Structure 1
Amino acid sequence: MEIIPQISHAMHTLLTTTTEAIAAAQQYVKRPDRAKFSPSTLVQTLVYGWLAQPTATVEQLAQMACRIGVAVSPQAIDQRFTMATADLLHQLVIASIHPVIAANPVTLPILQRFASVRVHDSTSIGLPDALTGIWRGCGNATTGGGATLKCGVQLDVLTGAITALDLVNGRAADRALPLQQRDLPPGSLLLADRGFYHLERLRQHDQQGVLWITRLPSNAVVAYPGHAAQPLATFVRELGPVATWDCAIIVGKEQQVHGRLIVTRVTQAVADQRRARIRQHAQHQHRMPSAAALALADWNVVFTNVPRLLISTTEVWTVMRVRWQIELLFKLWKSHARIDDWRTANPARVLCEIYAKLIGLVFQQWLLAASSWHDPERSLFKAAPIVAGMAGELASTQADPPQFLRVLTRLAALIQRWARTNKRQQPPTTAQRLRALTAA
């Protein structure tokens, strides 16, 4: 809770001083009715309006403007859905990540072994084809998908901080995201998926004292130290009937990285499901499924530079479950915040809505980090409606910093009290599994 004043200052600065500075640099204000709507009050209206109601109409946004102290018509708001407003909001999304709001570490000893625990992933938002010139997707005018926005996010699972938020063309590969090149604090643990696999980047992290656990692509080549390299699928197949295997290995041919290869056999049912997905994906892309991918479906395979003394074979698989936190974050963004849903055919309004919602979601994550991130049983899905329910109070007190701070403090207390997962025995939650590792 001690970081609530920091959040109050960051929110107030972004929605006032920073907004006006960016607007001035862009020469945004050209309308004669600035006395009614300044750049900052417009941004506040959109951010709080869609934070309170993700499907808000212009009438509901006008009501939110009244709570901020600006009496405008729905038509006045509708007229401000321009590319200039979208550009302003886009720059504010970028600015919102600079104050990294981090809470006390989550009370899970196995994660507290590391300076931070980073996971990153991306989610894509399909856009109207009219926006192809701004955010280009993989499709075209014939196939559709010509305009797509990709959001790359890096989350510190230890403290709840969003440490990176990249907005790029939908056609960009995950491993080309800017967040992939950001340096991490020494002693951090990075949990990476196949889409971000980049051997040279792993080598750089290793040299910088950053630890990582990553899934390997099916076309990887591996070797015992001092032996010839061979395809990963061949190497794993030659292990024979073992259920679990953990040994020092070298990955790569020209570029080589040393680490531990950890392999665990999955059940036949899981393997069959994986092969079905591989074949379905290949069919969708009009190609034959990879023989290596089909062969590796029998196994869970990860590569890591974390020493055994710091994390055991069994612990590796449980810690990898933490990656699910970022999937939950994206699920929340789309199911509750409706970041990929809008009620308009106006391309500029679509962008305004997405950017304003992203700013609100950054604020929401700050509040969750401040109020309950230390609790492993926190619930993002229970916190979101609480934040939405008080968005109007935040808007109406925005111009009164002491009162705004009091509302934020009360909001954080509500999240801490009510935003917790329901207890269950079967199957255990990831938090329960992580706690059990140190309780044993």
Structure 2
Amino acid sequence: MARRQSIGIRRELTSLIPTRQLNFLAQLSGLVRRRRKVEAMALFWTVVLGFSGGRARSLAGLRRAYQKSTGTTLVPSAFYDRFTKSLAAFFRFVVEELLERMQESEAKFSGLLRSFRDVVVTDSTLVKLHDLLEGRFPACRTNHTRAAAKLHVVMSVKGQGPRSVKLTSGRQHDGPVFRVGRWVRDRLLMFDLGYFRYQLFDCIDRNGGFFISRLKENANPEITATLRQWRGRSVPLVGERLRDVIERLQRDTLDVEVEITFRHRAYAGAQSGARRSLRLVGVKNDDTGRYHLYVTNLPPERLTAEQVARAYAGRWQIELLFKEMKSHYRLADLPSRKPHIVEALLYATLVTLVVSRRLLRAVRQALRRQKRVVPEGRWAALFATVSSAILDLLLAPARLARGLARWTEAMLLHEAVDPNLSRQMLLARVENGATW
């Protein structure tokens, strides 16, 4: 008889963050001071996994999920009174603990990105809040949204999850939130235009890291060298400004060195200017005839112009992560005008994401011999469907939990597999150069 495949859901999640550590963080945050009807660990897992009931996340729905999974009956006030500032602090501590525990993945890149220690993508997403939270979380455009939170995430592509997070108001600009240090060495960082700053790129380069960013529309650097030779009567580029010649180019790719000027951060009231050379890459879009332009410090022998554009497509991973949290884990469902409840639910969604990715890794390991693909998007929809069952087996007595685990694990292993055998995931397409 074939051996039944097992994920070990309970084992995976209790090893991700042990109950002893959760109890310590609950005491540290002030969530637990005396024994109460609503048990802290059951509340934690309910807020993390009890979101799937109903069309939108609500405190009433979470209370019903708590009662169902624990077999208790509560008056609404006994449950709602636990949503305090201490609960928000508790979930913030848990997120910090999880990010610290998520050590660098042992996975390795196998293709285009194999020479990098990791690929790091950063971006932010806005979450609309109740208008009465405008004082704490002012939005950037108050003509249609008065209050909004902004979640800034730095994501490890290799680890398939967040490496750091920060919660600010919607009015906070992206650039100043991101910090560079020695940790960037041998890593490839990719940005959208919200982070475009020559000072940032210079700092990454000085710390031994690499970057790729889209070029701003108003940037017009001087071309100082061509890095690819073209046959025939090609348009001379050296000494020209980019915007003066780009409309006359017929070539499919542009690969040149440019000189940029910028100002260093002010020290002791003085601010000095600086110049440096960067590589500018352009790849023409066949449909529009216009170039997609990128700046990078990667040398041509490391990645060709076409490979730079292909690698940048991997930045879409973080957009998919935000979509996963909003579409499946109810990131945008924040049913409260109280800031501490909003913060607790935002941080709880991040915990949900980490829990989901931990079980995704376990499912992929269980299926690795079959060489079947488990896409993140398909997994997220499945995880959201069975999250209440996972909550039940975590809170049930051991005897009942075994039966629940058998059914839940069998369903996950059966439904997670992509039926399209030829479909590649985004990272695989980036690494292998597959057509889009």
Establish whether TM, by shorter chain, passes 0.5: yes
Structure 1 counterpart of 2:229? none
Q: Answer whether contact 1:249 1:260 (CA < 8 A) is retained.
A: yes
Q: Answer whether contact 1:215 1:303 (CA < 8 A) is retained.
A: yes
Q: Which runs of structure 2 are paired with 1:40-119 in the superposition (5 Å)?
A: 40-50=41-51, 55-66=56-67, 67-68=69-70, 71-105=73-107, 108-119=110-121
Displacement of 1:59: 4.9
Q: Answer whether contact 2:283 2:291 (CA < 8 A) is retained.
A: yes
Structure 2 CA distance for aligned equivalents of residues 414 and 256 of structure 1: 58
Structure 1 counterpart of 2:215? 216
Structure 2 counterpart of 1:8? 14
Structure 2 CA distance for aligned equivalents of residues 49 and 312 of structure 1: 47
Structure 2 counterpart of 1:234? 244
Displacement of 1:168: 1.2
Structure 2 counterpart of 1:361? 353
Amino acid at match of 1:330: F
Displacement of 1:53: 6.7
Q: 1:233 to 1:418 in 2, by over 3 A?
A: farther
Displacement of 1:410: 9.4
Displacement of 1:221: 4.0
Structure 2 CA distance for aligned equivalents of residues 408 and 246 of structure 1: 55
Q: Find the residue that maps to 1:242 and give its secondary structure.
A: coil
Q: 1:129 to 1:332 in 2, by over 3 A?
A: same
Amino acid at match of 1:270: T
Displacement of 1:407: 8.7
- In the alignment, structure 1 segments of 5+ residues that lack a partner are 272-297
Structure 2 CA distance for aligned equivalents of residues 412 and 173 of structure 1: 43
- The yes-or-no answer on 1:303 pairing with 2:295 is yes
Q: Answer whether contact 2:37 2:78 (CA < 8 A) is retained.
A: no
Structure 1 counterpart of 2:230? none
Q: Find the residue that maps to 1:167 and give its secondary structure.
A: strand
Q: Answer whether contact 2:161 2:354 (CA < 8 A) is retained.
A: no
Structure 2 CA distance for aligned equivalents of residues 173 and 399 of structure 1: 45
Structure 1 counterpart of 2:200? 201
TM-score (norm 1): 0.76
Q: Answer whether contact 1:162 1:365 (CA < 8 A) is retained.
A: no
Q: Deviations over 1:362-414 (max 9, x none)?
A: 22233334543998953222212433314443454369899999999997886
Structure 2 counterpart of 1:274? none
Q: Find the residue that maps to 2:254 and give its secondary structure.
A: strand
Q: Find the residue that maps to 1:171 and give its secondary structure.
A: coil
Structure 2 counterpart of 1:168? 168
Displacement of 1:322: 0.8
Number of equivalences: 402
Displacement of 1:424: 7.9
TM-score (norm 2): 0.76
Displacement of 1:99: 1.7
Q: Find the residue that maps to 2:151 and give its secondary structure.
A: strand
Identity across the alignment (%): 22
Pick the aligned partner of 2:122 from 114, 120, 123: 120
Structure 1 counterpart of 2:25? 19
Displacement of 1:210: 0.9
> What root-mean-square deviation, in Å, do the aligned CA atoms of Structure 1 and Structure 2 show?
4.0
Pick the aligned partner of 1:423 from 398, 420, 425: 420
Amino acid at match of 1:357: T
Q: 1:432 to 1:112 in 2, by over 3 A?
A: closer
